[in-house]
Structures are given as structure tokens and as C-alpha cells.
Structure 1
Amino acid sequence: MKKSLLNISAIILFTFNVMGQTTNEGMLYISENTQFSTVETLDNLETGEFYNDGEAFIYSHFNNDGILDFYQETGTTRFIGSADQILSGVNTSYLQNVYFRNRSRTVPFLLTGLIDINGIADFNEGVVDNRNFGGAITFRENANHINTSDRSHVDGGVNKFGNTGFIFPIGHKKYYRFGGISAPTDSQANFKGTFYNENSDELYSHTLRAGAIDKIDPKEYWTIEEKTTTNEDVLITLSWRDVTTPNLFIQAADRDILTIVRWDEPTNMWVNEGGAIDHDNQTVTTAVSGYGVFTFGILKEEAISPGGLTVYNGVTPNDDGINDYFFIDIPNDGSVRDLHVMIFNRWGVKVYESDNYGVGNNLFYGYSEGRSTIKGNKQLPTGTYYYILDYQYGDPVQNNRHKQAGFLYLSGN
């Protein structure tokens, strides 16, 4: 949390070296274009105040029990080691930019403390483990990460604050396996993402699943939790990789029957959340009806657009009478009812929603009716959008519902 800088010249340095470590019990300020380094453990005591607007090189363990923060958005803290580095402390360490490089072993950074990142996290080399050590790592609104890979990511949970989209730099058991969210509307939104390279069946039985789901991924799952109570409508994106994702599920993506499934606590079963499959990026994206535990599922062949509904995903709103609106062909026998439609742009901003699509003039003509970041009744630009359909089908007494997601192509020509 950035502090207000009142008088830098009044800041005094009180540091001393004792028993092989650098200890700060007073005030330490690293100004812009200035470097500071410590070969031994850096211990910022309860009375210590450490502000970094320059470059701090930490070559060993790091502990913060006092104030650790920044004034300008220029500082970089570099954790560079040749042996295990314990990152600890009872108070949050507020960092602008952070750099991780330690090639001593696969998982050299043992995070027991609290790190809060405002700028860029450069995962150069070495996994940061907070899963087994109880620490927490948080990215602020405009914070992001680079160079994330199997060799360097966070093994454990990652928190994200703010109203910007985010890819969680998460992995488990050697592999980087990101999940992502689109931009929430609330600047105070808080989400947490974690990946598990494990079978979820023992915790969330795979035999308890909605009828449309044929199989559930037995090798991996994610938790994406909304920690605030704003009930955000965001898109969830999960990635597949052949190093963890079973080949049967990758083949399901080729057949367009791969979907995102979520464990639903109220009904005690896995439910289908749908999913738009991006073969080039090996991801599945959908808007979800709740948060918690997610993984991949394979749909039954007969569960694809049940009720005889057909989607035409090209829209050219030029008043030529052809594809002027998002056309969903609904059988007139009443087999499809209560059609809920949501449309999101590529950044996950909802631009259209209807609770009874196709009735009256409830149709999408390529104009925004979404949140305040896009003006209502404004013609949307040419591009690719996501659509989410949720509807009732079949016998009304059975209340069967189906959800699916896909890509919508909007062109002004």
C-alpha cells in the first residue's frame, strides 16, 4: 500500500549487522536509481520502516515484522539466491515490482509471510511455495506477471484485487497451470485462484454429476473463489496441457464436447457451466453461475444443444435482412423455454443480457446494453465475442436446464 511521501530528507538510516544478518530497527529509504543489497538475511524488525523506490537485492532470507512499503512506483525488490530463501514476517510487505531468481532447486522460495505486489512480478527462475508454508501473495489492481512457466510460478493460492482481468500465475507439482478471470465491475473485488495437480474425486465425488456430464477430469482441478460479496459476473478461463490433462479430454476439445464443470455445494454435485473452446490457446472460457471448485468435463453427445436449439453465431447488423441480429433458432413446440442470453466482449465485459431472448424485440443487434464502461445503445466494434446460453428444455415438470458457451462473430459489413 503506497505511502504519501512528505519529506524524504528527514528519513534516517538505522541499520546494523549482527550474527550474520542485516537488521533494520529504524528508518531505511532506498531512493530512485539507488541500489541496496544484503548477502545475509534481511530482518526488518517491528520498529523498522523500509521504503524501496530503487533496487533492493536480497540474496538470502527475508523477514518483515515492521513496515515495508514504497513511495514512488519505481522500486524493484530482487530475490536472488543460491540456496533456499525463506520469505517471512508477521506484517505485509508492500512491493512495487518483484523479481524471483534462484536456481538452487526447483522450489527455492518458501513463502511464510505476506507479499503484496503493485507492479510487475518477474518469475525468472524458481517456484514460490506458499501451499506448504502458509504464506500469501496478492496482486493489486494493475499488477501483473511475466516469464511465468513450469520453472517459476506460485505453488499455492494467489489473490487478485481490483477490476482488471487477470491470469493467476499458479501451478502444482512441477507444472504451471493457469486459470483466469475477466475484469470484475467492482474496484474492490477480490478473487483467489489455486491449482491442484490431483484427482478431485475423493473430495468431490465424480459419480455425483448432472445428467449432461459424461466424465470428469481425474487428474487436475482449480479453485477460483470470490472473497468479496459483490456477486461479480466474470468469465472463467481454464487451460489444458498434455502434461496434466488426460488425452481423452484433449480429444473432447477437438470434438467440441469439452466443458467446464463446477462442484455445486447446495446440490452436492458437479454441474455443467458450458465453455467456449479456444483450440489455438488451449483454453475453455465461460461465465459461471457460482464460484469454488472447477475442472474439465466431457459432455454426452446427446447433451449438445438439447431441445433442438440451433445457434447462428455470425451477426452483421447492416440492415440488409441477413444476419442482422444474433439468431437462435428455437423450435416452436415449446421444448425450449426461459432462454437466458449473455454476451461478453474479448475482455470479459458484459455487453448484452436478456432473460427471455427471442420474445418480442429481445434480440442482440450488435449494440451494447452492458455496464457503464461501455455506453448503452452504442454499436459495438467488429470482433469476436463470447455468448452464454442457459435455458430450460424438455418436460416442464422435470425442469431440465442446459448451459453452453461459444464464440459470436460481429461484423459491421
Structure 2
Amino acid sequence: MDLQSNNTIQIKSYRLMKKSLLHISAFLLFTVGVMAQTSNEGMLYVSEGTKLSTLERFDNLSTGQFYNDGDVLIYSHFKNDGIVDFYQNTGLTRFIGSANQQLSGSKTSFLYNAFFDNTSSSVPFEILGTIDISGEANLFAGILDADNFGGEVIFNTDGYHVNTSNDSHVDGPVKKAGNKEFTFPIGDGGFYRQAGISAPANATALFEGKYFYENSNTMYPHNLRAGVIEEIDNQEYWTIEKQSAADENMLITLSWNESTTPQSMVEAAEQGALTIVRWNAETNMWVDEGGAIDLANNTVTTAVYGFGVVTLGRVKKDLILPCGLVIYNSVTPNNDGLNDTFLIDQSNNECAKNIKVQVFNRWGVKVFETNNYGVNGNVFSGYSSGRLTLNDSEHLPSGTYYYVIEYQYGPDAEKNFHKQAGYLYLSAN
């Protein structure tokens, strides 16, 4: 262990990045009891290239300041009631055990890289406190149970996870801060059942994801659903909650798995009838959010306006595209008269009304949006009208995009609403 003095320390926060000047004093470690329990009530700094191991319980007391830029191995319980943080983006904290490990404390533990390896039981990590990860979380072995112990796991802007599986994921809520796309490492009942979000527009964005391996019908009745929805997944659901103030237009992705997902939903994916449905608390019913189906990765993706409870649904086959709309999902804007624009064709021009179209790139950034699509030349021809790094009227690069179409249909159009999502292939050459 090395000491370091008079340094500028960057304190990580999932809501706000801030800097604080601290004068580092000597650290104080002591052991208590027959079994060596390590406690820190002063300043402890582990520098880059240095290892620190604690074989028994480690307590960072309320006066303790523990900064790790090196390699710390925790072989038993870990409790933080003070400051746990890092200076450089080099620190690795490894939780390795042969018996169940509790990660607790009243204060957030800010870690850069974290490694979890414990196979002592089916759920060896009991998360009672809050862990904030800014770098890599290597979920090598062992489920992190935050659901039954009241803790939470947070991933900062550049945080990510690897080796996530049925045997190693987070059972309980996971928060994601910042404006990067993210796949939540969530599961329940011994199954890893991820859900993803595209990159939010705002750097201050904060989302929380959680998976439930149970029937949502108990709390959110499946009989209360929009007419286009034939069936709702009765074995699983997710919650994706926006916990920041700014509005976000983005994509969410759900997955299906034959171990947890009803066979009817798996078959619906193969038939192009699988969709994402969301419980709309304002109308007290399930609504269809549409979905672009990816059979290769067992996922379905769509843009959403609201968040909350979501799951998979099967739409009625005869209403997959009401009004007989035909979507030509290839755009080659080379002025040859063929597929120069995103074409939506309907045999009955009086059927579909108020067609709204959105186009997103592969990172979930909205690059085009319009109401009354097709009216007075109002079409997508490969140019951006989006946000962030994309300038208005910027020619978009070739690649795969997502489209989302919404419209009212039929003689009673005000009551009939359809939303369709899919892939759009743009060739700029």
C-alpha cells in the first residue's frame, strides 16, 4: 500500500460529476475479534500497481476514506459507511468468496472496475448497499441479489458489463446514468433477461431497469388492452423507468428466450406479429408500441413515448398492417426514380389517416420525424432532420435504420390507432 498527499480527487456521482480538494492524512487500519476483521477509520489509498487483500470482513467506517487505483481483493463481507472512490481510471475491486458475501453500508461505493466471482450458492452476493461502477463490471460468476436485500447497482456514463449470463447477473434494479446506450444486466429466477435502451439525448439522463419472472396480469390486467393486441406475455415483464427530468425520445429493446417466454410469443416473432406492449397508467390499459423484430438476436426494438411496465405481445394477424399498407423499407436516393424515398403505399387512400413517421439510426438517435407523411412531398429521402451531432438536412450515411410509423385507421379512426416498427435500409450510393 502506498500513501499519497495533497491530491485532487474526483468524486464520482451518478447524478453529477464534481471535484473536491482533500488533504490526505495517514490511514488507520485495525483488526478486531478472533477472526481478523479489517476496519478503516482514516485515509487508505491503494496506488496503481499495488495489491491489497482482506481475508475477512472489511469495514470502511464513517470517518474512513478508501481510494483504489490498484487491485483490491475482498474475500468476505464489505461495508462502506464513509468514502469509497478512485483517482485514476485504473482501480479494480474484486469480490471473491467461498461463502456468501454481503456488500452493504450507508454510503455509495464508487468503483472503477469490479470483478465478481463467487459460486458458494446460487445467489452468493447479497447487495444491501449501493455500488456505482464507472468502468467494467466483470460478472464472472455469481448472481448479485439486490431485490431481496434492498440494495442497488448503478452504472455510470461509460460503465458496462461482461460475462453476464444465467449464472451471473443482477437480480433487482439496475440504474444507468448518462447519455450512452446500455443493456441492463438484469434477471430473475435464475435467468438473465436483459433489456436495453438507446443513447439518451441528455448527459444527465438516469434510467432504471428491472426484470420480473412472473405474470403481470395480477397487477396489470391483460383483458384491459388495445384492440390490436391478441395476447400478452403471461410469464414475464420488465420495468424501464426514466428517473431524470428531461424528455427523452429513444428506443427500447426487449428479448425473448424459450426458457421463460411463452411459445406463442416465439412463434409470433417468426410470423412478424411480435410487438412490445406497455401498460399505460393514464388510460389504465395495455397499448401497442410496435416492434422491429431481430430473429438472429431474439430481440424486438421500438421507440417509446412513455416508460414503465413493458413486456412482449402478439398482435392480431389481420391487423399487423391495418388498411393494407405496404412499406418499402429500402431507400436509394440516387434520383433514378426507384426507391428514392421511404415509400408507404396504401390501396385505399381514405383508410389510414394522420401518418406519423420517425427514423432512428442504429444508436437510437432520431434523424427524421414528421406528421402527415407523404403530404405535399413530406417524405424521408435520406436526409437528417434530427438532433445531437446530426445537422438539419445532413445527408445520412448508408446503413440500417429503424422506422416507426403511427396512424389512425378505419371509419372510426379516432378510436383505432396502430404503431409499426421495422428496419429501414438506406443506400446513399
Equivalent residue runs for 1:115-134 within 5 Å: 115-134=131-150
Among residues 94, 98, 102, which one is paired with 2:118 in the alignment? 102
Determine the structure 2 residue equivalent to 1:363: 379
Measure, in 1, the Cα distance between the counterparts of 2:263 and 2:40. 53
Alpha-carbon separation, structure 1, partners of 2:317 and 2:360: 26
Aligned partner of 2:61 in structure 1 is 45
Among 230, 234, 237, the alignment partner of 1:221 is 237
Q: Determine if the alignment matches structure 1 residue 379 to structure 2 residue 395.
A: yes
8 Å Cα contact 1:263/1:270 also seen in 2 = yes
CA deviations on 1:83-110 (whole Å, 9 max, x unpaired) are 0100000000000010000011110000
Instruction: Map Cα deviations across residues 378-401 of structure 1 (whole Å, 9 max, x no partner).
Output: 211111110000111112464311
Q: How does 1:225-304 map to 2 (within 5 A)?
A: 225-304=241-320
* 8 Å CA contact retained: 1:22, 1:41: yes
Give 1:188 shift: 0.3
Larger mean Cα displacement after TM superposition, 391-400 or 146-155 = 391-400
State the alpha-carbon separation in 2 of the partners of residues 330 and 160 from structure 1: 41
8 Å contact kept, 2:68–2:92: yes
SS at match of 2:377: coil
TM-score for the superposition, normalised by structure 2 = 0.94
Equivalents in 1 of 2:143, 2:326: separation in Å?
Answer: 46
- C-alpha distance 397-300 of structure 1, shift in aligned 2 (>3 A): closer
**TM-score, structure 1 normalization:** 0.97
Q: Distance in 2 between matches of 1:331 and 1:226?
A: 40
Shifted more, 335-344 versus 323-332: the winner is: 323-332
Supply the distance in 2 between the matched residues of 1:48 and 1:184 (Cα, whole angstroms). 36
In the TM superposition, 1:152-231 aligns within 5 A as: 152-231=168-247
Deviation track 1:73-92 (CA, whole Å, cap 9, x = no partner) reads: 11010000000100000000
1:394–1:7 distance in 2 versus 1, CA, 3 Å: closer
Q: State the match for 2:416 in structure 1.
A: 400
SS in 2 for 1:164: coil
Q: Output aligned runs, 1:304-343, within 5 Å.
A: 304-331=320-347, 333-343=349-359
CA distance in 1 between partners of 2:335 and 2:413 (Å): 40
Q: Which runs of no fewer than 5 residues in structure 2 stay unpaired? A: 1-10, 13-17
Structure 1 counterpart of 2:43: 27
1:14 paired residue among 19, 28, 36: 28
Deviation at 1:248, TM superposition (A): 1.3
2: distance between equivalents of 1:159 and 1:265?
22
Deviation readout 1:165-208 (Å, 9 max, x if unpaired)? 00000000000000000000000001000000111111111111
For residues 248 and 22 of structure 2, the distance between their equivalents in structure 1, rounded to whole angstroms, comes to 41
Q: Do 1:11 and 1:29's aligned partners in 2 also have CA atoms closer than 8 Å?
A: no
For the aligned residue pairs, the C-alpha RMSD in angstroms reads 1.3
Moved more, 354-363 or 388-397: 388-397
- Residue 247 (structure 1) shift: 1.2
Distance 1:320 1:302, change over 3 A: same
Q: Is the 8 A contact 1:160 1:190 kept in 2?
A: yes
**Quick check: 1:167–1:180 contact (8 Å CA) kept in 2?**
yes
Please give the per-residue CA displacement for 1:240-262, whole angstroms capped at 9, x wherever unaligned. Answer: 11110111110110000010000
Cα shift at 1:297? 0.5
Letter in 2 for 1:257: A
Residue 384 of structure 2 is aligned to residue 351 of structure 1? no
Q: C-alpha distance in 2, partners of 1:7/1:289?
A: 44
Q: Is the CA contact (8 Å cut-off) linking 2:254 and 2:301 kept in structure 1? A: yes
Does the residue aligned with 1:171 lie in a helix, a strand or coil? Answer: strand
Counterpart AA for 1:189 = A
Report the Cα distance in structure 1 between the residues aligned to 2:82 and 2:173, rounded to whole angstroms. 24
Identity of aligned residues (%): 55
CA-CA distance at 1:310 after TM superposition: 1.4
Rounded Cα–Cα distance in structure 1 between residues aligned with 2:415 and 2:38:
66
Instruction: Report if the CA contact (8 A) 2:408-2:414 is conserved.
Output: no
Query: What are the ranges of 5 or more consecutive residues in structure 1 without an aligned counterpart?
Result: none
* Residue in 1 that maps onto 2:101: 85
Structure 1 partner of 2:15: none
CA distance in 2, matches of 1:313, 1:273: 19
Report if the CA contact (8 A) 1:5-1:71 is conserved: no
- Contact 2:201/2:388 (8 A) holds in 1: no
CA distance in 2, matches of 1:55, 1:98: 10
Q: Aligned equivalents of 1:387 and 1:397: distance in 2?
A: 22
Per the TM alignment, residue 333 of structure 1 is displaced from its structure 2 partner at its CA by: 3.6
Residues 144-155 of structure 1 correspond to what in structure 2 (within 5 A)? Answer: 144-155=160-171
Which 10-residue stretch deviates more, 319-328 or 301-310?
A: 301-310
